[in-house]
Every structure is written in structure tokens, then in C-alpha cells.
Structure 1
Amino acid sequence: MLKLLFAGSPEVAVPALKTLATDKDHFDVVAVLTRPDAPTGRGRRLVANPVKKTALELGIPVIESDPAAPEFVDELKAIGAEAAAVVAYGKILKQRVLDALPLGWYNLHFSLLPQWRGAAPVQRAIWAGDELTGATVFRITRQMDAGPILAQSTVEIGAHETSGELLMRLAEDGSHVLAAALEAMAEGRIAPVEQQPGAFEVAAKISVEDAHIRFDVPVFAADRQIRACTPNPGAWCELYAEGGAEGADPITLHVLEARPVVPSEQPHAPTDLKPGELRAGKRNVWVGTATDPLELLQVKAQGKKAMRAADWARGARLSAEARLA
């Protein structure tokens, strides 16, 4: 039985923790390393992250120490782990920490490495229009996401799938790939393969400004941007209720769900919209792009709750000059 340390923090790491912790025939998760409680909400109350909550429910000891601290290696050796499984932990590990466990540290990364190394592989894959992605288990080295690969799985990206939906699907599938890879590693049945050299796209973190929707691009590009930024950091734009009249302040509008218009399937949709121009019907709201319109399905206006776009448009009483930018 492999004695494991599990390192992770957000919801996407929970499936892997549960899979490993409940496989008592192959793994003994001796401790969970996670980020300290963070202040949340208006009251800034300290709240445990999803991995810590799950660990406590499973009765697994929790470590919230900083891996950069000089005493961390001694703390690590004291728990008796042979290897570590890492899923979205969010901290860089120094070489002395990587060397502290005899069988090494192994990361579950949500891309088909070496493509999309970095912080936002799922978001960047959707934004780039990739048709396939997957999960990779590799041994952690000092270079970012560049260690030798133990196992990979491949999935198709859904035509309307958001990054949040795809990430949770990969988290579930990847948890089993991680367990199988670690089991095979511990039993000496797997030989890690070095990653292919070359120039590959890096999955840089997506900022709030990156999520500002562009409508001066083809509709497929606007759709990819919205899906890539949903739910985090959240795709948004600015509503100019009077078309951008001087002195009128725009309102922030978050687009939670949208679909590219296929003219052959939606003959009633307008075909004459300019980029950013809005058109609202009884049941539909469209916005122009550089090609076909984009239909808004669910939105959240500044200071309002999320709602169907048609309901929002009726309440907003949009003028004929209203536009998004």
C-alpha cells in the first residue's frame, strides 16, 4: 500500500482526493497539504477551501504549512509519506521539497502535455478552438509542467461546453487516471516518458481584462471567449443604453451563456447587426459580431441577479441605440 500525501485546494481537486482516499487496497492518504483558510465575503470571515473540508470529513490530517519554510521538509518527513499526489495546489515547490519524498511528487494536469503548460489549460484550449484535450499525470520537476509523463487520457471538448463544465469533467475522469498511474508507479509497472521537446502554447492565467468580450471578431471567436471565461473570471462587456451618448455611464453586463446564431437554423434572427449592436425580440436577444449574430441566453446586469436575457432586456427597456462594447 502506497503512503500518500495529497496536495490541493479548490473544488477541482476534490474528486482526486476522494478517489485516492477511498481506495484502501492501494493507498493510505496519510495527510493533506492545502492552502490556509482565506477571508471570504463582506465580513471577511475565514473559510476553509473545498479540499480541506473534504479531508476533515474523511478524517485525514491537514497540513497548512508553507512549503517554502525551512522547517517544512522535517514536517514532511515526519508524516511518513512515500509519494505525493498534487492537483491544483497552487504553490511552487523547491527542489529540497521535491527530494524529500522517496518516490517523488506527481501532478494531475488538465491538458495533453506538453501542450498548454501553465495556469489555465482548460480555458486556453477552449479559447483556441481545440477539439480535444485531456488529463496528464507527470512527475513534478523544477521546470513548469515539464516532468516525465506517466499517463494521459483524452476527451472531446463539447461544442457548447464552458471551461467550468469541462474542468469538472476532467477532474472526475482524471482522478481515476491519477490513481491508476500512481498504483502502477508504486508497483514498478510503468516507465515515465520524457515530454516531447518543442515550442508549445503556454496556458497563461486569464485576467478580468482578458474576459472583456470583443464583438468586432467572428461570432465563433466571441463564443469561445465567453465559454473559456465562464465561470471564472466571468465574461463581461459594457452596455451603453443610449448607444454611447456623451455623459452616459455604461453598465457592466456579465454574459453567463450565449450561442452563435446559425442562420439556416434560425431564419428569424437578424442579419444586419453591426458589431456590438443589440436587437431584442419577445424571446430572444441578439448582439452583432463581425460575422453572424450571437444570441444572449443568460446574463447578469450590474447590481442585478442572473436571469434569462429576454427577461433582462424587457426590464431594461433598451433603446434602439443600445449597444455592447
Structure 2
Amino acid sequence: MRLVFAGTPAPAVPSLRRLASSDHDIVAVVTRRDAPLGRKRIVTPSPVAAAAEELGLPVIRADRLDAGVTEQIAALRPDLGVIVAYGGLVREPLLSTPSHGWINLHFSLLPRWRGAAPVQHALIAGDAQTGASVFQLVPELDAGDVFGAIAQEVPPSATAGELLASLAEDGAGLLADVVQGIADGTATARPQQGEPTYASKLGDDDGRVRWDEPASAVLGRIRGVTPEPGAHTTIDDARVKVLAVRPAAPDAPPLAPGALALHSREVHVGTSSAPIVLETVQPAGKGAMRAADWWRGLRATDLVAAS
């Protein structure tokens, strides 16, 4: 088949590479425009754009799938559109432009966590299992019939970035199988079953640690917002990024929510249940450092992290 692939961030790259190595012809790769990144704001192509150029595939850079982009894609006579984390909506008439429409690889077990940040919300909610689904794109958000899904247990220490990277690799195989099934005429899509939940895009406040929650919820939030938008708290009127944490030992002394203490050379913070251990932090204006080293430089006692 003649495929149009739409995607932007790194988790879409394994799917692009897998399809590029198949017998199908990727006639265009649609991705968002180059954007300034880093402190020096260097204009940088998206991970998908960089991979497409490496593979010798034609690239259409667009932040919106507007009439101009629709005309470009229609001229290529695609059989199927494939979208993986592009970052924009596919509307009519583009939705019906490929003869087989569009399919979407989504990193959740639909209908749970429809929307922009399914992996992050799964971790914040404490889900024990997540996965990836390939479904037929329809006008309603992530509501189309599902061609196939894979489930994955959530590792207890995984961050959103780590879990998403794992799902991206496994999901690429699922996506390739569905594409081949559509080409063969053997693919079957079934309606989603269950009550939908929604995973809105995360903002800065989602990364604010709520120390008055139980330890499991605190750990889930921190891992769910790592690396983006990032976990943070306020200590002694200064913002501190929380980069890595883990549960404290079962015999660790209890602490009030938000209270900090050094115990067995570890920096502990209290929650509404058990304390957790700060492993890596980044104070404002400084680089990442071991929490114990940061603590020694504070020269303070009775500190409390603001919830």
C-alpha cells in the first residue's frame, strides 16, 4: 500500500522505522515544523523529521493539517494514513482522503485514557497495567473501532518516559501487523468496550507534588510527570525539581507530610502515609545533583516542602 505517516516525537520513530522496512511505500511523512529547543533555542527538526530524512523519505512540515496539507496528501493518492503522536487533529476531508482512512497507534488500552497524555495519566492514577491500541481514526477523540491491542504490566519504578519508550517499541510491531492486515483484507476492527476516561495534556501544576497524598500517589505523580512537564516542589521559598525518588525502607521513621529529614544518609520527605526518599533533585539555577549533596549544602533544619 501507499502510506502517509504522521508523527512528531521520539515515541513515533520506532513505528516509522518499522513501516519503512516493510513492503509498503511511505509516500510522505507529515510532522510538525522545526522548533527552537534548549537554552540556546536552536531550531531543531522533530525526531520523526530527522528519522525520515535519514531514511530518505519525503517530509511535509506542518503544525496544522489544513487545506494546503490536504491537497498535498491527496495528490499522493495514499491507500492508508498512519498517525502516531503527531500533535494535531485529522479532520474531514483529510480523514477520508486515503482509501482506507487513517489508523492511529495510541499508547493506552482504549477506551481508558483517550487523549494527549495516556501514559502519564496511567502512572498518576496508579494503574497496574497499560498498553497500546491501534484503532480507526474517527472525528470523535480516540473513539474509533480497535484493530488490535497489546497489554503491558507497569513496572513499579518506571517513569512516563521509560514506559512510553517501551510501549513505542512494542506498539510498532502491533502497528505493522495491523497495516499488513489491512493490506491483506484480514484486519478486523471491533468497537471499544467500557467506560472512557480522558488524559488531558499535562501542565506545570500537574507536576506540583502533593505531599499530603499517600506515598503511592506521590510516587505515581512524580513518575508520571517525568520527564515532562517535570515534578517540582517549593522548599524554603525556593522551587526544586524532583528528578528521581523511591520508597523509603519499611522501618523508616514517620514524618509529617512535606517534612524533610536526613536518615541513614538519605533525604526523606513525609507523605500522608510513609516517607519517600529523594534521590536526585535540581535546585533553581543549578544542575541536577544527588539529594544528599543538596541537603548538606542547605545548612538548615526543620524544612518543609510546600504541597
Q: 2:219 aligns to what? A: 223
Instruction: Tell me the distance in 1 between the aligned counterparts of 2:224 and 2:268.
Output: 20
Aligned pairs for 1:1-325 (under 5 A) are 2-23=1-22, 26-65=23-62, 67-196=64-193, 198-240=194-236, 250-263=237-250, 267=251, 269-271=252-254, 273-281=255-263, 283-317=265-299, 319-325=300-306
Q: 1:182 and 1:283, CA in 2 relative to 1: closer, same or farther beyond 3 A?
A: same
Instruction: Tell me the distance in 1 between the aligned counterparts of 2:200 and 2:78.
Output: 32
Q: Which runs of 5+ in 2 are unaligned?
A: none
- Alpha-carbon shift at residue 167 of structure 1 (Å): 0.4
Whether the 8 Å CA contact 1:124–1:203 is kept in 2: the answer is yes
- Alpha-carbon shift at residue 79 of structure 1 (Å): 2.0
Instruction: Tell me the distance in 2 between the aligned counterparts of 1:28 and 1:287.
Output: 54
- Alpha-carbon shift at residue 315 of structure 1 (Å): 2.1
User: What secondary structure does 1:195 align onto?
Assistant: coil
Whether the 8 Å CA contact 2:31–2:63 is kept in 1: the answer is no
Instruction: Tell me the distance in 1 between the aligned counterparts of 2:256 and 2:62.
Output: 54
Q: 1:66 and 1:124, CA in 2 relative to 1: closer, same or farther beyond 3 A?
A: closer
Q: Deviations over 1:187-239 (max 9, x none)?
A: 1112111212x532211111111110011111111111111111110000001
Whether the 8 Å CA contact 1:66–1:72 is kept in 2: the answer is no
TM-score normalized by the length of structure 1? 0.91
Whether the 8 Å CA contact 2:110–2:196 is kept in 1: the answer is no
Q: Deviations over 1:134-163 (max 9, x none)?
A: 000001010000011111001000011111
Instruction: Tell me the distance in 1 between the aligned counterparts of 2:62 and 2:224.
Output: 33
Instruction: Tell me the distance in 1 between the aligned counterparts of 2:14 and 2:92.
Output: 27
- Alpha-carbon shift at residue 66 of structure 1 (Å): 5.4
Q: 1:245 aligns to what? A: none
Instruction: Tell me the distance in 2 between the aligned counterparts of 1:213 and 1:42.
Output: 25
Larger-Rg structure? 1
User: What secondary structure does 1:291 align onto?
Assistant: coil
Amino acid at match of 1:292: A
Q: Which moved more, 1:308-317 or 1:128-137?
A: 308-317
User: What secondary structure does 1:209 align onto?
Assistant: helix
Whether the 8 Å CA contact 1:67–1:97 is kept in 2: the answer is no
Q: What percentage of residue pairs aligned between the two structures are identical?
A: 43
TM-score normalized by the length of structure 2? 0.96
Instruction: Tell me the distance in 2 between the aligned counterparts of 1:20 and 1:144.
Output: 25
Amino acid at match of 1:219: A
- Alpha-carbon shift at residue 43 of structure 1 (Å): 4.1
User: What secondary structure does 1:71 align onto?
Assistant: helix
Amino acid at match of 1:200: P
Amino acid at match of 1:256: L
- Alpha-carbon shift at residue 171 of structure 1 (Å): 0.3
- Alpha-carbon shift at residue 67 of structure 1 (Å): 4.9
Q: Deviations over 1:239-272 (max 9, x none)?
A: 11xxxxxxxxx11111111112241xxx3x322x
Whether the 8 Å CA contact 2:107–2:132 is kept in 1: the answer is yes
Aligned length, in residue pairs: 306
- Alpha-carbon shift at residue 44 of structure 1 (Å): 3.3
- Alpha-carbon shift at residue 42 of structure 1 (Å): 4.0
Q: 1:42 and 1:227, CA in 2 relative to 1: closer, same or farther beyond 3 A?
A: closer
Q: 1:261 and 1:42, CA in 2 relative to 1: closer, same or farther beyond 3 A?
A: closer
